[in-house]
Structure 1
């Protein structure tokens, strides 16, 4: 009788059939479906939570920065931190300028507090029109406190941080001197959590030793003035020593500073989602193999290939949809909890002083919902295509399960992925982010997993042939190897879970260990003195004050100090849209800069420099961000009119990803006239105890303002900061590991239960239940050991991309490669034990089935 192969009616019969199939699969294997849903949910939740946290923090930080600019159209500042106040009347009288408002901005240290208090000195009469939110609110009985020299106005967050209220006094530190100011009131409006202090600009200049100095001038243009043309003409008129910026440049600076960190966090969070995709693939692939005869019967009854393909993809999409919806809810809760209890920077320190709140983001929600569904559907594509291509007649027979996975053994797609990954490692960053590097990692993972069927067949085929030559080979081992050699498709699915999990573990562990060891070596190289002294500035630049020449002399003459090497740390603005570049002036031997700095290559000796050339040594970030090269002549806005310098070497810097420049202290002082110092490297005389010198330094009249540290303390603090920055990385890596082990357990369980007929046949020929469990343990051990070995090779290759491509393109520094053998060995041993245990536990249910009942074809 001829079979009608025309498509079944789509409605209502096909929808009823599709619903029956999905409900039946759910009821029969609810546990594996829940595991797949939970995996997708966790992957989506982690990525969505990180996105919400970063977005909320960046938005709040940008809003706080915009509040400091108010209604200004342009901001004019110097390339150096402070400019002469003669700029202000010049801009105020510029045609097209309606209003100019001078600002003095300082980061001031507070005794007994960690961190800096931002202090703004403003002209209250000018600021009222440009930055009205920053105006102080004095007490009704003291309306002129906004002009008082001893008055300071604090935001609500600053008052809470300092534990003061209106009328109290607060102590601030300017260089080595303490200032006592009266809290005269609050501010009109600030962002939640924004610490800010405001003073009269003349009072701030006087009290903080900045008489005649400004930080910037906010400019408001007349209506009808072309902002871009005015900006271009003004920049040309002022010259390169001045920077004319728009207010949105501040957001661009913050975005560039934190972009690499935010992208890396998002990608790391999505690792769990990638692992979840493989779990969906293994669930669907094994489900298709198990239901092969059912699908063949439906094909015989008239179900078309397209309808069968649609059915399997629909089941995968449903898993992804349910997982994504749960993940969005969980991610929102995780983001809210993280912001409430751990702050907004996720350990990176890029968004200090803000208290963001999580808000629902429709676009991000839609993206992660679609991403979860897409990942689940992609995990179902290969099994669905294979099921649709299967011929119904052979598929109706038992024992055809392995042929369903035969197409997975094709190596060419895997080779294509590996070649594409290799090509992408040579691609430069896109949008200042290592997008191509991440794609290379993903393709390397996909290619490595896709090679598993062929590699599994080769490995266990060779093992089977080798074992066959032995005269006295144990039955248990022989059967285990024979099974793996003759069913490489199913074996590769189980081994693929181990491989993907362990490869990610290896890659992340090597990357983190390489970074940590490199930072440790770097800080050890830099800390060659016995003591390090710095003025407690609260900020990183020390521009609110430093050691005067007479104070430097007193430090150098402290009994027991053999040498005191002074340094001045400040910053330069080279590009208004990029973060500032650190400028470090210190005593450097031009003939051997490597004694002080960790150089990365050749250096220019003084003999090759022309007379009058001034050498500088730049960090690796300057090469990537500004195109500096060894021997290049560059012009920097240092001094009154700027100066040309020669790049004499490139050094490694793990503290400043935005770039840093080192210059000899004598050259810096000659060009700028700034004789202050912020840091001192102290070498103690032989035979003198370090503790004695520390006590003598603290006994100086200004000793309370000095922070004295030993190299071991600085190293320990640096590594603590490193570990805190990577705390979320460790957490996300652990989650990915757990998901991977989940997948291993689910895969072994599904395969073992599907092999009940095979175990029944073995029971008929005399194999005992204990021997079957031993076979399962052997298979689990062999698969896991092979997966660990191949996973290490794949993970090592991925780590090379992370260390030598992703990391330099993200943070603009290089590092050496280090493999944490002990950690990886421990994890490998734990995975091996867990996999063997899982295989045995899952096999107990299969071997408990009655031997006769297990081999029936139609029970």
Structure 2
């Protein structure tokens, strides 16, 4: 039999069951659309960040930096004299502040360069309209990128920039605004090198020297042939896209796995629809077998239906994905709330890589549909056609062994304890596998749970528990437990994943709220609005902390010094917070090391969880710190580990008194102020600002309530897409149980007609179906709750610590969980009763006479 015949036979079946098939098609469409849309947004964010970084840094072959920080300007002359160099571009970077058209200050990144050298290496830093070389070389002339120009009046000709140096002193300089540059990203000011040195207070210093080699020269060959000046090192430029990709990989993978939740849920819905379709068409399929259709051709008939669903769903999903990606980019930003890549979005580009990804996700949707069709198709292949025509052998799909469900659950729990692979330490692949096995195990346990739930019928009132209605419910639950598994599979997956995500997000939010209370104990916070070249906050003005103490408004004042330190043997800088440490108020993640573990001159430090995992540190371990990359070392030991939800990088904390004795640095970068009773936070900002007589705009003030509200708002924005993905998957699951329940009820019209013939009333049949639906929906809801709590434990205690290095306390939002369970229970019960009302109409008795 040809494929054209198969298509002609499939079409009437698809048309007859259009409602259920449409739901299955919708589930595949949404699953493919969400997965591909998230991929498009993630790829767009990385590509735009890479483009923005390239427009700022150019594309040098080598970058020369100082081993101990800044390079002296004299190094430029030495390097420029070396052979084999086509371009030698000195660069100085920093941060400044300007006054916007709204009267509020805003920050700019400052790049000082030699336009004659860097113009050819980095055209995006060249003005669009060069009127004269003299203007470009003028130290009081600057060019702005589009993001900076958008913050100023359209006719701005002069701009005052204010910047701080490492000592805390600030400088104000006026610049003439020239033609703009095309560099993407956040607000940027491009200056001549001399003007940047004067503005930033770094006369005679350079941050780096970009080198472009002559044609035919390799970086390795040039470095072997040319000795570098003392104190300098050269390396290829860092791949900013790779750095961002590594930093956000865990977030993107977790989001990608979550986006596949709808597709995974939809696969069970497709399986339920196809299984029910095959079960209802058994007599027709058996008749086709008797008339000469082979088992292979019957399988092809079912597979062709699954293939059609997969193709249509995948194509529609890919088209919908592009629209969802554009909408998501406009509402959430290209980073989906992750908070990196501050540049403006340039739209979505469908390049060759994205087209290959579209083919991959389309193939995934097709495979999901075919996989969901495989078991029903296999059952048709082994169908005894003669017995089915006589009404025998209707149970086509084999019953699962009783031990399979518990075995899958045990395997899942065992995988949760498997550590991540060394090459991917931030990807909890074993934990994802554990969740997958737990889901499969939960589905396989449904028949057993349903039979156990029959024991609840014995608790019904005397006279009802032994009635014919209850007896019918018992027998059907025993005989049709596999059918119940198919009906519940989709909703069980959706409900358990929704419970898991609800618990995980709620636990994270509650832990963040407690963490904010511990890390922000004061009433008011003050910091400098100016930034240094490394993005660190500038020191507070000298004497400001003493002025706050002497004002009489503060009951207590404490300071913090934020800086960078280097760990011996580890090349990257680490964030340091030097503050008064009260160990009983720290959000500790584990026990403290005993004081006896330290040497006499070792200082205690407290590291965050990311640094602990990154360097495999433990409490009591000895380390050496440096204030500069090549400065003298200071012995320290790890006193404890603390939770740090503010960053996804290593950081450490040191008592402020110890830091000052070690460094001799008396400066503060943040101030914590506890107000005296009776002073409102609304008035405190004005009073504290008035204490800074000169340039009060250099300081930023925030009440603790504002900081907590802002932090929780950022958290909610970061998880906004999570809630949408969760809602879509749950919606598919709810529609799935409604469709499965109604379809099963409508398929039993002959059974209902027979029961009415035997003397049952319509009310008796409705009570029978209500009891069946309540039993099935109740088992599904409770099983989903239990499975969801197990999945949430893996998310909270395994996935988050391995992916983000954040531990948290589990928190169960019972009102939301009960509302979720109630929605699932009512959806199943309502759908079954509505279908039952239709199926037990006046003509139901005639269904007994139908000739199949």
Tell me the TM-score normalised to structure 1 length. 0.90
Match of 2:623 among 634, 640, 653: 634
Distance 1:115 1:264 in 2: 34
Match of 1:285 among 275, 283, 307: 275
Matched, 1:148 2:142: no
Write the mapping of 1:529-608 to structure 2, written as runs, cut at 5 A. Answer: 529-537=522-530, 542-543=535-536, 545-571=538-564, 582-589=574-581, 592-595=582-585, 597-604=586-593, 606-608=595-597
Higher mean Cα deviation, 324-333 or 799-808?
799-808
DSSP 3-state at the match of 1:158: helix
- Offset of residue 763 of structure 1: 1.2
Q: Structure 1 residues 576, 602: closer, same or farther in 2, change over 3 A? A: closer
Match of 1:780 among 773, 781, 795: 773
- Offset of residue 654 of structure 1: 0.6
Q: Are the equivalent residues in 2 in contact too, given 1:773–1:840 (CA < 8 A)? A: yes
DSSP 3-state at the match of 1:186: coil
- Offset of residue 344 of structure 1: 1.2
Matched, 1:118 2:109: yes
Per-residue deviation, residues 67-115 of structure 1 (Å, max 9, x unmatched): 2221311224458875555654565456765544222222434455587
DSSP 3-state at the match of 1:730: helix
- Equivalence for 2:15: 27
- Structure 1 residues without counterparts, runs of 5 or longer: 1-12
Match of 2:33 among 24, 40, 45: 45
- Offset of residue 630 of structure 1: 2.4
- Offset of residue 395 of structure 1: 2.1
Write the mapping of 1:700-711 to structure 2, written as runs, cut at 5 A. Answer: 700-701=692-693, 702-711=695-704
- Structure 2 residues without counterparts, runs of 5 or longer: none
Q: Structure 1 residues 636, 628: closer, same or farther in 2, change over 3 A? A: same
- Equivalence for 1:220: 212
- Equivalence for 2:750: 757
Matched, 1:660 2:651: yes
Higher mean Cα deviation, 478-487 or 810-819?
478-487
Distance 1:243 1:434 in 2: 36
Distance 1:293 1:847 in 2: 23
Q: Structure 1 residues 188, 689: closer, same or farther in 2, change over 3 A? A: closer
Distance 2:670 2:233 in 1: 28
DSSP 3-state at the match of 1:409: coil
Match of 1:433 among 422, 427, 438: 427
Higher mean Cα deviation, 815-824 or 659-668?
659-668
- Offset of residue 50 of structure 1: 0.9
Match of 1:521 among 503, 514, 518: 514
DSSP 3-state at the match of 2:11: helix
Matched, 1:66 2:54: yes
Q: Are the equivalent residues in 2 in contact too, given 1:166–1:185 (CA < 8 A)? A: no
Per-residue deviation, residues 811-854 of structure 1 (Å, max 9, x unmatched): 11111111110101112122222221111112233222624421
Aligned length: 836
- Equivalence for 1:182: 175
Distance 2:731 2:10 in 1: 28
- Equivalence for 2:710: 717
Higher mean Cα deviation, 544-553 or 16-25?
544-553
- Equivalence for 1:458: 452
Q: Are the equivalent residues in 1 in contact too, given 2:90–2:114 (CA < 8 A)? A: yes
Q: Structure 1 residues 358, 698: closer, same or farther in 2, change over 3 A? A: same
Higher mean Cα deviation, 208-217 or 535-544?
535-544
DSSP 3-state at the match of 2:602: coil
Q: Structure 1 residues 137, 303: closer, same or farther in 2, change over 3 A? A: closer
Q: Structure 1 residues 204, 813: closer, same or farther in 2, change over 3 A? A: same
- Equivalence for 1:204: 196
Q: Structure 1 residues 735, 87: closer, same or farther in 2, change over 3 A? A: farther
Match of 1:270 among 260, 274, 282: 260
Write the mapping of 1:259-338 to structure 2, written as runs, cut at 5 A. Answer: 259-338=249-328
Per-residue deviation, residues 743-793 of structure 1 (Å, max 9, x unmatched): 111101211111111111111112222332332222222211111111111
Q: Are the equivalent residues in 2 in contact too, given 1:106–1:543 (CA < 8 A)? A: no
Per-residue deviation, residues 487-508 of structure 1 (Å, max 9, x unmatched): 2122222233332222112111
- Equivalence for 1:350: 340
Distance 2:749 2:777 in 1: 22
Q: Structure 1 residues 80, 618: closer, same or farther in 2, change over 3 A? A: farther
Q: Which runs of 4+ in 1 moved over 6 A?
A: 229-239, 465-469, 538-541, 573-578
Q: Structure 1 residues 806, 615: closer, same or farther in 2, change over 3 A? A: same
Q: Are the equivalent residues in 2 in contact too, given 1:107–1:539 (CA < 8 A)? A: yes
Distance 1:236 1:86 in 2: 13
Write the mapping of 1:835-854 to structure 2, written as runs, cut at 5 A. Answer: 835-848=828-841, 850-854=843-847
Q: Are the equivalent residues in 2 in contact too, given 1:638–1:671 (CA < 8 A)? A: no
DSSP 3-state at the match of 1:153: strand
Per-residue deviation, residues 200-256 of structure 1 (Å, max 9, x unmatched): 2221222233334433332333455443576799999978xx775432432221111
- Equivalence for 1:615: 604
Q: Are the equivalent residues in 1 in contact too, given 2:621–2:638 (CA < 8 A)? A: yes
DSSP 3-state at the match of 2:179: strand
Q: Are the equivalent residues in 2 in contact too, given 1:498–1:784 (CA < 8 A)? A: no
Write the mapping of 1:641-720 to structure 2, written as runs, cut at 5 A. Answer: 641-644=631-634, 645-668=636-659, 675-685=666-676, 690=681, 693-699=684-690, 700-701=692-693, 702-720=695-713
Matched, 1:625 2:614: yes
- Offset of residue 352 of structure 1: 1.1
Q: Are the equivalent residues in 1 in contact too, given 2:146–2:182 (CA < 8 A)? A: no
- Offset of residue 617 of structure 1: 1.8
- Offset of residue 723 of structure 1: 0.8
Q: Are the equivalent residues in 2 in contact too, given 1:530–1:681 (CA < 8 A)? A: yes
Distance 1:625 1:236 in 2: 32
